C-alpha cells in the first residue's frame, strides 16, 4: 500500500553532494562588497588574461542564421585540429579518439559513467579538485584518497601507499597533472611508477590535464597519452577554459584510444545531444594560435607565481610549497580553521578598505578534517592586484583572533 503521508524530499544523492568550497562563501563576499569593501578574488581559477580575439572573430565570421545541433562527438574539423594540437604530447592520435564535451567537467563525468559502476572505487591523490567528490557521488562510486603533504611540496605519495589502497573494487586511478589545487607537476619518473600499478592491476588511468600548458622553470609536461603500454587504459579530460582564458565557452575534450570506452562515451554524448555550437567554432580557431601565445601566457603566470610565493614565504608562520605548474598554490597558514578564517576575512576584516577571498583547503580533501590550516590561492590577477591582496593577507594573519602561533 502506498504511504500517502510520505514527505516530499530531494534525493539522497542530492543531499550528499558537497557545496563548492570555491563558491559557498559568495554570500559573504556579496555582503562585504555591499559594505563598500573591495574584495580581491584569489578563490577561483578565473583568469583575467583576455580571451584571444580569434575566438570571437571566428564566431562572427560564421554568420549563423540557425543555431543548430552539431554531431554529438563535436565538429569533425575541430577534432582534426585537436588531434594536431595533441601531437606535441603524443603520436598516432586521430580525430576518432576524441569527443568534444561540454566542458572538462563533462569529460570527467563521461569517464566516471563510462568506466565505473556504482560501488566501484577510484584512487585519487588528495588534495584534489573539489568537484571530483561531486562527480563520484553522481556516479555512485567511492573515492579512496592517498594523501600528499605540503612539507613534501605535495609530491606523489610512495607507490607502496597507493598499492595499499587497491582493493577488489578498485577500477581506476584519477590524477590531475599539473594539479589543481596544489600546482604540483608530476615528473615522468613518477608517472612511470604509476604506470606499473595501472598495468599490474589492470586499471583505468583518468588523467585531468587541463593545465598542461602551464609548466614552469624549464620543467616538461608529460601527458598520460605518452605512457607506453597504456593505450587501452588512459582517458584524458581536458578543457579550453584555462588554456585560453575561455571559461564561459564550456568546451572540453574526452580522449581515449580504447574503442569500447569511446563507443560508450559517445552514447552519453548522444544523450545530451551536442556540445555548444558557438563554443566549438571559437575553440577551433584557437587551435591555430602560434606557440608564442602559450609562451607569453606562461611567462605572465610565472611572474605572478614568483611574486605570490615570495610574498607568502615572507609571512610569519606560513609554510609555502614549491609550485611547478597550473596557477595555484596551497600554503599552510597559522590559523585554527580555514573555513572560519576565509569567512572572517569577508565578514570581519578589511585593510584600508580591502580584503581577500580565498578557498578553504578542506573542500579539496576527501579525508574528513584534513586541510584545516591550508588554503588554495589562485594567482589569476595582475601583479598590482596580487600585491594588494598579499598585503591584505599578511595584515589579516597578524590580527586573526584564532591565530595558532
pLDDT in tens, 345-356: 999 999 999 999
Cα–Cα distance for residue pair 155/178, rounded to 1 Å: 11
pLDDT beyond 70 at 1? no
pLDDT beyond 70 at 2? no
Sorting pLDDT into bands at 50, 70 and 90, what band is 46?
very high
Cα–Cα distance for residue pair 325/316, rounded to 1 Å: 25
Q: How far is CA 54 from the centre of its chain?
A: 25
User: Structure pTM?
Assistant: 0.95
Strand partners, 124: 145, 174
Dump the DSSP string for 304-333: HHHHHHHHHHHSTT-B-----BTTEE--B-
Question: ω before 127 within 30° of 0 (cis)?
Answer: yes
Question: Given this model, what pLDDT does residue 19 score?
Answer: 78
pLDDT beyond 80 at 357? yes
pLDDT, tens digit (0-9, with 9 covering 90-100), for 49-92? 999 999 999 999 999 999 999 999 999 999 999 999 999 999 89
pLDDT beyond 80 at 22? no
Question: Given this model, what pLDDT does residue 76 score?
Answer: 98
Strand partners, 205: 173, 234
Closest to 123 in 3D by CA, of 143, 137, 109, 103: 143
pLDDT, tens digit (0-9, with 9 covering 90-100), for 133-147? 999 999 999 999 999
Contact by Cβ (8 Å): 42, 60 = no
Contact by Cβ (8 Å): 256, 97 = yes
**Three-state secondary-structure class, residue 403:** strand
pLDDT beyond 90 at 299? yes
> Average pLDDT, stretch 108-115?
98
Cα–Cα distance for residue pair 239/248, rounded to 1 Å: 11
> What are the start-end ranges of the E strands in 258-316?
none
> Average pLDDT, stretch 374-400?
98
Share of the chain above pLDDT 90, in %: 93
pLDDT beyond 70 at 14? yes
Cα–Cα distance for residue pair 297/289, rounded to 1 Å: 12
pLDDT beyond 80 at 109? yes
Contact by Cβ (8 Å): 289, 126 = no
Q: In terms of pLDDT, which residue wins out, 306 or 12? A: 306
Question: Which H helix or E strand runs over 110?
Answer: helix 103-115
Cα–Cα distance for residue pair 126/166, rounded to 1 Å: 16
pLDDT, tens digit (0-9, with 9 covering 90-100), for 237-290? 999 999 999 999 999 999 999 999 999 999 999 999 999 999 999 999 999 999
Sorting pLDDT into bands at 50, 70 and 90, what band is 20?
confident
Cα–Cα distance for residue pair 275/71, rounded to 1 Å: 8
Give CA torsion, residues 138, 144, 148, 149, to 10 deg: 90
pLDDT beyond 70 at 310? yes
Q: What domains appear along the chain, each with residue ranges and CATH number?
A: 12-50+292-399 (3.90.1150.10), 53-286 (3.40.640.10)
Cα–Cα distance for residue pair 150/143, rounded to 1 Å: 21
Contacts with 38 (C-beta within 8 Å, 6 or more apart), sequence order: 353, 354, 355
Cα–Cα distance for residue pair 115/383, rounded to 1 Å: 43
Residue 379 corresponds to which cell in the numbers above?
594567482
How is the chain split among helix, strand and coil, in percent rounded to 5? 40, 15, 45
Closest to 129 in 3D by CA, of 174, 181, 183: 181
pLDDT, tens digit (0-9, with 9 covering 90-100), for 222-239? 999 999 999 999 999 999
Sorting pLDDT into bands at 50, 70 and 90, what band is 98?
very high
Amino acid at each position: 500500500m502506498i504511504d500517502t503521508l510520505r514527505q516530499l524530499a530531494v534525493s539522497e544523492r542530492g543531499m550528499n553532494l558537497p557545496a563548492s568550497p570555491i563558491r559557498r562563501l559568495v554570500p559573504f563576499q556579496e555582503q562585504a562588497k555591499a559594505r563598500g569593501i573591495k574584495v580581491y578574488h584569489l578563490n577561483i581559477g578565473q583568469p583575467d588574461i583576455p580571451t584571444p580575439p580569434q575566438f570571437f572573430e571566428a564566431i562572427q565570421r560564421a554568420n549563423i542564421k540557425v543555431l543548430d545541433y552539431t554531431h554529438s562527438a563535436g565538429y569533425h574539423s575541430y577534432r582534426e585540429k585537436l588531434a594536431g594540437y595533441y601531437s606535441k604530447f603524443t603520436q598516432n592520435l586521430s580525430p576518432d579518439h576524441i569527443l568534444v564535451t561540454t566542458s572538462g567537467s563533462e569529460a570527467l563525468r563521461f569517464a566516471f559513467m563510462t568506466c565505473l559502476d556504482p560501488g566501484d572505487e577510484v584512487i585519487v591523490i588528495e588534495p584534489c579538485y573539489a568537484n571530483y567528490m561531486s562527480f563520484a557521488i553522481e556516479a555512485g562510486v567511492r573515492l579512496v584518497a592517498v594523501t600528499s603533504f605540503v612539507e613534501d611540496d605535495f609530491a606523489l605519495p610512495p607507490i607502496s601507499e597507493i598499492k595499499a589502497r587497491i582493493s577488489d573494487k578498485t577500477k581506476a586511478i584519477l590524477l590531475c597533472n599539473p594539479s589543481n589545487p596544489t600546482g604540483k607537476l608530476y615528473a615522468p619518473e613518477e608517472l612511470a611508477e604509476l604506470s606499473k600499478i595501472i598495468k599490474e592491476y589492470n586499471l583505468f588511468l583518468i588523467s585531468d590535464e587541463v593545465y598542461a600548458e602551464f609548466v614552469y622553470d624549464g620543467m616538461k609536461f608529460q601527458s598520460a597519452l605518452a605512457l607506453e603500454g597504456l593505450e587501452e587504459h588512459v582517458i584524458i579530460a581536458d578543457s579550453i577554459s584555462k588554456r585560453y582564458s575561455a571559461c564561459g565557452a564550456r568546451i572540453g575534450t574526452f580522449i581515449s584510444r580504447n574503442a569500447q570506452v569511446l563507443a560508450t562515451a559517445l552514447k552519453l554524448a548522444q544523450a545530451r545531444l551536442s556540445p555548444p555550437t558557438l563554443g566549438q567554432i571559437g575553440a577551433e580557431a584557437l587551435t591555430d594560435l602560434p606557440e608564442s601565445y602559450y609562451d607569453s601566457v606562461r611567462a605572465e603566470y610565472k611572474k605572478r607565481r614568483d611574486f605570490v610565493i615570495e610574498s607568502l614565504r615572507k609571512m610569519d608562520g606560513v609554510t609555502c610549497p614549491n609550485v611547478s605548474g597550473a596557477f595555484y598554490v596551497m600554503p599552510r597558514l597559522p590559523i585554527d580553521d580555514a573555513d572560519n578564517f576565509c569567512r572572517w576575512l569577508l565578514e570581519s576584516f578589511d585593510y584600508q578598505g580591502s580584503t581577500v577571498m580565498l578557498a578553504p583547503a578542506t573542500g579539496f580533501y576527501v579525508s574528513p578534517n584534513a586541510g584545516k590550516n591550508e588554503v588554495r590561492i589562485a594567482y589569476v590577477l595582475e601583479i598590482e592586484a596580487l600585491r594588494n591582496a598579499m598585503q591584505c593577507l599578511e595584515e589579516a594573519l597578524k590580527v586573526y583572533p584564532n591565530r595558532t602561533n
